[in-house]
Chain A
Amino acid sequence: MTTNTQNTAILEIKGLSAEINGRAILKGLDLHVRSGEVHAIMGPNGAGKSTLSQVLAGRQSYAITAGSVLFRGEDLLSLPAEERARRGLFLGFQYPVEIPGVNNVYLLKAALNAKRKQAGLAEVDAFEFLGLVREKMQLMQMDESFLSRGVNEGFSGGEKKRNEILQMAVLEPVLAILDETDSGLDIDALKVVANGVNSLRRHDRAILLVTHYQRLLDYITPDYVHVLMDGKILKSGTATLAHELEARGYDWVREEAAHT
């Protein structure tokens, strides 16, 4: 956990500024994440939470105007999206997209093999892979029919989010960024997703939970909570900060920041 001195730096964001279509969204954001840690990024709508996720994952529609990001000591911003993924950066999407006709398992196998290739490992064969996926599917309580369906094709909101965590479980990332993973989930689906995430907490992995509500944090207890407002981290604290935000809203954070 946080006190472990062996924890290594996973993500070091310094003064990150980014804009889209000439509109500044991130304005000098700092964030440090070490292995073994779970960080929650909270903030009101439009604060830049999703922008942060997308920028870290390498979405090209955003322009980086200032700052630097190191991912395990390597310059993240100079890498294309697929290279970031192969090095162990995973984004669980807020709105996982449907890809009609493309088999779920096929995409997942291609993803795993792309990552293994990067690591100099042999590709997994279909048989071995199916065993792995079945095991992880049990964790996410997904039924067999999932294997033959198209990527997110006709999935309910809950199924899509479970599918994201399943992919995370198979790909075993170093850093998982989960963007609004709780949105659109009923309480049962939320528990399944949270259990899945909790089971994936490890000493050599970091998780960034991007969320609007405190609800998800009832099931996944973060080590740190950050408030993202006006394009930067205005306040950081522990899990108790999330409860305070739930009770008092976000405006006080901005006022407090203005006085310091």
Chain B
Amino acid sequence: MASTPHDLDNLVAQKYQHGFVTDIESDTVPPGLDEDLIRLISAKKKEPQFLLDWRLKSYRHWQTMQEPHWAHARYPAIDYQSISYYSAPKAKTDGPKTLADVDPKLLATYDKLGVPLHERARLAGVAVDAVFDSVSVATTFKDRLSRAGVVFCPFSEAVQLHPKLIEQYLGSVVPTTDNFYAALNSAVFTDGSFVYIPKGVRCPMELSTYFRINAANTGQFERTLIIADEGSHVSYLEGCTAPMRDENQLHAAVVELVALNDATIKYSTVQNWYPGDENGLGGIYNFVTKRGECRGDRSRISWTQVETGSAITWKYPSCVLLGNHSVGEFYSVAVANHYQQADTGTKMIHIGKNTRSTIVSKGISAGHANNSYRGLVKVAASADGARNYTQCDSLLMGSECGAHTFPYIEVKNPSATVEHEATTSKISEDQLFYCLQRGLSQEDAINMIVNGFCKSVFKELPMEFAVEAQNLLAVSLEGAVG
């Protein structure tokens, strides 16, 4: 049966649902980057000296580095002096806030985004830290969490309340010198979330941070640090959106996870930054460094990501498997439509004995988009009995898009087992026609087929968000076949 590619090509007319701007008075520093700016940010946050020194050291190193261009993505050079590095909604009062003190406009913004900050609202079982541009504006369920001994607060608050933990762990997984964007982030990061789960504690609820970029011409540089002490367990989710703008905006985050003996961290991301319009104008440059260290024996770190947004995505949530019998997992759905470019994957570094890792990557390309999986599986000489299983599947919708796979495998221990499977397929005209002939609409048919393709990743998401992820996928691919 001959196919009709023009049918598949039409389904590309995405509507971005979070593109509004909140009109709120902000305290925004002028564009530009130098040591004075870094001192200013540090002073605004009333940071201890060690942190300012750490920032300045990062900045000086960053100045010696080159912007990396090995990713399968094209974009004009970024002018780092034209970005504003700090923007915060003006607060009526200083100091720690309760929900009652939060500007109603901000509460309304998060309501509109489907993340109500009232503790009895829809996400009743989830604690939320809401980060708006450069600062955290609210954190819910703090009391309930603190009764369990769990620390969940804005990063800048943690700097004040838990400076020892910050000094001990900050940069211990992603060093300031790690890469260009990590160095930049270390110099200018503004806020983010901090989580500490004490020994033996199972976090009583899902933790979640919702990142929102609102101000124009700003970059968002957040920093997240999660420490799971021995025998503890935590599930954390982040969500991200931004207004529709014609200019590209930079988002360069660093996330560090530390799992000690027998600890488990499950980290899920639903990334829906503004992807740009159907002609590729605007959108977020999402250049993110995420890494977890399974420092303890039998520890486990699991990354699950659903990436539908951003003009360019450059991120490789990774696991360093130091502890013996530790486990790293990476489950990813990356959707690229229109002119989006996604270069994403993971690194699994096996160092401890009998370490195991699983990689399941589902890439969906539509329109003129390019979607690349880039992954490294490295087995050190010390990693006796290490095992990895990798599965990379790509789904193409239409004839103008691309799917690419760049697997790197380095094995230095003969007892290791490394498996790699990869497939590339198209939503076939036959599958589509089969569903239409059963009475389904074109949109429903495509959603169903794509969701089927992503099933093994979606089932890893916390239940509250699995449905959201499916809906998001439907919106992202709206009009991708017509």
Contact = CB atoms under 8 A, between A and B. Distances in A.
Tell me if chain B binds chain A: yes
Interface of A: 20-21, 54, 57-61, 80-82, 84-86, 90-91, 93, 95-97, 99-102, 106-108, 110-111, 114-115, 118, 150-151, 167, 171
Nearest to B7: A60
Interface string B445-460: 0001101111110000
Interface in B1-29: 1-4, 7
A115 B437 CA distance: 11
27 contacts: A57-B433, A57-B437, A60-B4, A60-B7, A61-B4, A81-B433, A82-B439, A82-B440, A84-B437, A85-B436, A85-B437, A85-B438, A85-B439, A91-B437, A95-B430, A97-B431, A101-B456, A102-B448, A108-B438, A110-B438, A114-B438, A114-B440, A114-B441, A114-B444, A115-B439, A150-B452, A171-B439
Given A85-B439, A111-B440, A114-B439, A100 B452 contact: yes
Contacts of A99: 431, 434-435, 448-449, 452
Interface residues of B, number: 28
Contacts of B439: 82, 85-86, 111, 114-115, 118, 171
A56 to B, nearest CB: 10
B455 to A, nearest CB: 4
Given A60-B7, A97-B431, A100-B453, A110 B436 contact: no
Contacts of A59: 1, 433
Given A100-B452, A150-B452, A107 B438 contact: yes
B451 to A, nearest CB: 7
B429 interface: yes
A236 to B, nearest CB: 27
A61 to B, nearest CB: 5
Contact of A101 (B428, B438, B454): B454
Contact of A167 (B7, B428, B438, B442): B438
B448 A110 contact: yes
Given A60-B7, A97-B430, A81 B437 contact: yes
By secondary structure, the B interface counts as helix
Contacts of B448: 99, 102, 106-107, 110
A57 B436 CA distance: 9
A102 B1 CA distance: 23
Given A100-B453, A101-B455, A61 B429 contact: yes
B23 to A, nearest CB: 41
A93 B437 CA distance: 10
Contacts of A20: 2
B7 to A, nearest CB: 6
A102 B456 CA distance: 11
Nearest to B455: A101
B452 A82 contact: no
B2 A21 contact: yes
Contacts of B449: 99, 102
Taking each of B3, B436, B438, B452, which has the highest tally of chain A beta carbons within 10 Å of its own beta carbon?
B438
Given A86-B439, A111-B440, A101 B451 contact: yes
B11 to A, nearest CB: 14
**Closest 8 pairs (CB-CB, A-B):** A101-B452, A102-B452, A114-B439, A111-B438, A85-B439, A101-B455, A81-B436, A97-B430
